[in-house]
A and B are shown apart, each in its own frame.
Chain A
Amino acid sequence: MLKRWLPAMAVLTALLPMSVLAMTGEEVMKKAQAAFLYPGKDFKARVTMKLIAKDGGERVRELVMLRKNFGAPGGEQKYFMVFFKPADVKDMSFMTYKYPAKDDDRWMFIPAVNMVKRIAAQDKRSSFVGSDFTYEDVSGRDIEDDSHAIEREEKVGGRDCYVVKSTPKAGDADFGHKLTWVDKASFLPLREDQFDRKGAAYKLFTADEVAVVKTHPTVIRRTMKNQQTGHRTEAVYANSDYEVGIEDSLFSERFLRQPPRKWLD
């Protein structure tokens, strides 16, 4: 019985890449999440964001970003950020406890009034530091919030990709659906097309430069462009590094007020 089918199956497998048969859209996105947001035990980078208006006007955001995993990919994470630029926000610091399927906890230290304030995180789709990236674009969106389907396969910059269509299950997102081009080899998202709820092109994410850091392929340059306003944000992750030994105790109000020097270079 099986033998009769074997030649046909051999032809099929030769024609189609193995992985299509093996993976669903959701699995691709899970792997992408792990590769993009969860590699290593911890991660550190000096992030410079250029917020560029349509007419070329530029603003700069510069910060150190520290991230530590507290579980498997898709699980809990903590982020710690300290700002350098613009000048008047120097020494402001920001901390997020990120939980799967639950609102984040966020705190901010405001040096001018020497105050740590907890910030309600009701909208993960709001802008991160005034850039075109949302909080979710920076730290990830729950896989379960969307339904995912592989639309097709396509090359991006010479690399084979899955094109996954993700549609939010609830109507709370600012986008109606998005297409993600996930690199078959590294599982990094190389491009993401967000469409608004009316189906018009909305935001476009591109991974502009990928480098291997301590065995982890890492997107060290990325752009998010709002195609409706023409505004875009270019982010460079300099000095990216993994396994740097971030202590659990860093993620506290005490260090938010007084971040340890060693993490600030």
Chain B
Amino acid sequence: MKRIYVNEEWCLGCHLCEYNCAFANSGLKDMVEALKGKPIFPRIHIEGNEKISYAVSCRHCTDPICVKSCIAGAISNKDGVIVVDKNKCVGCMTCILVCPYGALALNENGVMQKCELCTRNSDGTPACVKGCPNNAIVFEER
């Protein structure tokens, strides 16, 4: 299955992936309208410092511990993509505690959200990958 991989060698820490993610998931057509003056809740996060940086997002584990930990049955494995049903999520944050990668977070409404490989919002290439100026985030089979 194609997954998102990051390569810290080329990550410039520019945070464009965060903006592209938040915009892609906003459902709006205009980035300024979607993001300007608002706190943003991307599903990918840049970690690191001035020397080294890298993007963190869900790795879509083959044996995802978040799915097992969910008390509401809101997280499921859909053909390999780990997805959240926000109607079922009760916001207990257990998944956040168990994820070894720190890939999950709450959205603006206090409900869990995570990277779903842009399966619900775009044309197949995740927005963070498409927008990365230095090929530091790739979407490929490994």
Chains A and B bind each other: no
